[in-house]
Amino acid sequence: MTAPPLTPAARRPQTSYVLRWLLPIVLVLFFLAILIWLPWQARQMESNERQEQLIADTLWVEQTIRFQLGRDEESLRSLALEISADRLSPALLHEHMARILKNGHELLRVVWLKPDGALAGSSDPLPAPVQLTEASRATAELTRRTRRPMYTQPEAQTRNPSAAPAAVLMDYHVPLFRGDEYLGDLVATYQTSALLDEMVPWWFAQDNQVTLVDRDDKVLARRAAAGPGHGVYTHKRALDLPGATVTLVTDSVKSEPQLLPNLLVGSVIVLSLGLLWSLLALWGHISRRLAAEGALRQQMSFRTAMENSLVTGLRARDLEGRITYVNPAFCQIVGYPADDIVGKLPPMPYWAPEAMSEYQTRFANVLAGKVTPQFETVFQRPDGERVPVLVFEAPLVDKDGKQTGWMGSILDISDRKRIEELNRQQHEKLQASARLATMGEIASMLAHELNQPLAAISSYTTGALNLLGRAQSSGDAVDCGVLKPALEQASAQAQRAGQIIRSVHEFVKKREPLRQEIAIPSLLDGIRALIDLQARQSYVSFRAELPADLPMVRADRVMIEQVLLNLTRNAIEAMQHIPPQRRMLDVVAEYDAATAQVSVAVIDQGHGIPQEVAERLFSPFFSTKAEGMGMGLNICRTAIEFHGGALTYRANPQGGTIFTFVLPAVPAAATQET
């Protein structure tokens, strides 16, 4: 008995039950299908990528070979033009051929064959006769008719019939014509194996077997650094060589990718572990990122507080010179808020007009990648006030070590400039005081020295007046022969007294330093009266040894006169307590051509300088005299160093001390121009 058919009401629960189980099964099957399809698809994609990569690499190698051959062709054509124009001697021809051979390691030789086959030139130092193959001779005939360079089909060559086959060679013929006259062929011989060895990169040869074949697929050369290819991934690329058919064949040593064993279990485990690892890595990454952001905010707050507390201005610029950052101290120095200067390109609003060319030159150096590490300049505030600044520049690099701009530190040196100016003024006052002190010490000797010419003037004028009175009373004429010598003597004594007064006046008057070309003899003559005055007072013999051809020096006359007067006065005082016959003061000058300097030595035979005094000899306010200021030698050394020279001393072998100062000599050419 058959079962009764199901009613629609009874069929609906069964359909719902089947669908409820069918959907998970379908989803699992779909998941399994995806798990199986994905590796297969990945395998196919990997295989396609390997093939595409091989094609791309083969194309690159083919272009590399063709590019090098093109360079060789261009060099050979240029050489052919030189030969056709008859501009090369045999030596130059050999040099050009050798250079082409040196630049192209794939070349075996370069020769010039005349129409009869005779050798006209070769790249070999000791050329030997060249025997062309039948194919090469045919190519030479074809290039002669067409006047176009061509390659010979590569073929193996042997030196003799019993020898083993040599390397496969390929000739490149360039016909030589001078007008319609055929001069022969310029022949460059390639070794096909060298083409692969020189032009196929090592990384490509490690993964592929590279072969050159002819039109019959005969192997011409092969390079297989990693063994023979598997024949899975291959590609052929013909080399576009006129007259020859050569094909580049690449065969990868890689095999087809394999599917993973236990695909389903492995996939599920890997996916599960990957998901768990991803969640843990994500949680760790988020934690580290939050910590890094907190530390970065703290560092930014610390850096901002530190930069705001600095009195040194900070300025950052990019490689185009655009300002990218300034700190409050920089804004205070230039007088502009940050919003007015950040993002601006030169010219800057704080550039002073008088230094605009200096700024432009320095900005051009910045654009060229060169920056002055340290320099002084002047900035202008909005109210026109000038601010002298000292700028330090350094490269600004990012985390990868790449330079992105320049960071500068700017110091306001207004106070330092004011102090330097005050020091300069004080130094000038001190020099003037030292000159006045020197004149105070010789004032009594000066009065004694002036008494002699003044007394002589008085005597001569009194005698002249008496002579005139007697002539007037007697009514006789005045005897000029008697009166003239008296007046001449009075005039000479007056000039002597005036010279002494002028020397003192020139020495003590205050003025700005004036460098000029002066001769040491004339400089010494200007103060000789003062030196003689002190020397006679102390019974010292004074001598000067100055060569007639002594070069001139560029110096301030009064400052060097003060140095000489101080040194000679010290030398005279050092000989106060020695026997009079040894009281010799010498001033000796000489020229050193090696250093282009003039040296002046003041030599005495006094008591010398003890060791404890020598250690502090040039120290300010140190003196061995009860009434001395202790500034004489210090001022002397400062004055000489101001002129670019040096002041030194040493013991005199005959007793006493030798003080020597050197000054740069004026070049002879400059003296002649002057």
Per-residue pLDDT, averaged over 527-541, amounts to 81
* Tens-place pLDDT, residues 469-518: 777 777 666 667 666 766 766 676 676 566 666 655 555 554 455 778 88
Res. 586 pLDDT band, cuts 50 70 90: very high
pTM for the predicted model, two decimal places: 0.37
Domain end position, chosen among 375, 409, 443: 409
Can you give the pLDDT at residue 162? 39
* Tens-place pLDDT, residues 187-221: 998 888 888 888 888 888 888 888 889 888 888 88
Instruction: Please tell me whether residues 448 and 563 are part of one structural domain.
Output: no
Instruction: Please tell me whether residues 391 and 466 are part of one structural domain.
Output: no
pLDDT top residue among 627 and 246: 246
Residue 30 in domain: no
Instruction: Please tell me whether residues 191 and 91 are part of one structural domain.
Output: yes
Find how far residue 451's CA is from the centre of its chain.
Answer: 68
Residue 34 in domain: no
Residue 41 in domain: no
| Most trustworthy range by pLDDT among 39-43, 228-232, 323-327 | 323-327
DSSP conformation class of 387: E
pLDDT above 70 (res 91): yes
* Tens-place pLDDT, residues 407-463: 888 888 877 878 877 776 776 666 666 555 555 555 554 554 565 566 557 656 776
Side chain identity at 518, as an amino acid letter?
I
Can you give the pLDDT at residue 3? 46
Say if residue 149 is preceded by a cis peptide, omega within 30 of 0: no
Side chain identity at 273, as an amino acid letter?
L
Residue 402 in domain: yes
Residue partners of 322: CB distance under 8 A and separation at least 6: 343, 344, 345
Whichever domain contains 458, its CATH number is 1.10.287
| Most trustworthy range by pLDDT among 330-339, 597-606, 620-629 | 597-606
241 phi and psi angles, rounded to 5 deg: -115, 120
Instruction: Please tell me whether residues 87 and 125 are part of one structural domain.
Output: yes
Instruction: Please tell me whether residues 640 and 665 are part of one structural domain.
Output: yes
Question: Of the ranges 149-153, 157-161, 403-407, which one carries the lowest mean pLDDT score?
Answer: 157-161
Residue 27 in domain: no
Instruction: Please tell me whether residues 136 and 212 are part of one structural domain.
Output: yes
Name the average pLDDT for the chain. 77
Whichever domain contains 186, its CATH number is 3.30.450.350
Instruction: Please tell me whether residues 543 and 495 are part of one structural domain.
Output: no
Instruction: Please tell me whether residues 252 and 280 are part of one structural domain.
Output: no
Can you give the pLDDT at residue 61? 86
Residue 520 in domain: yes
pLDDT above 60 (res 557): yes
- What is the distance between the alpha carbons of residues 669 and 348, in angstroms, rounded to a whole number? 44
Res. 160 pLDDT band, cuts 50 70 90: very low
Structural domain span for residue 613: 514-674
Whichever domain contains 538, its CATH number is 3.30.565.10
Residue by residue, DSSP assigns 195-219 as HHHHHS-HHHHHHEEEEEE-TT--E
Res. 380 pLDDT band, cuts 50 70 90: confident
pLDDT top residue among 99 and 36: 99
Per-residue pLDDT, averaged over 157-167, amounts to 46
Residue 14 in domain: no
Cβ-count burial 272-302 (b if 16+ within 10 Å, e if not): eeeeeeeeeeeeeeeeeeeeeeeeeeeeeee
SS3 content of the chain, % helix, strand, coil (to 5): 50, 20, 25
Number of domains within the chain: 5
Can you give the pLDDT at residue 481? 66
Find how far residue 107's CA is from the centre of its chain.
Answer: 41
Name the H helices within 538-610. 557-574
Domain end position, chosen among 409, 443, 471: 409
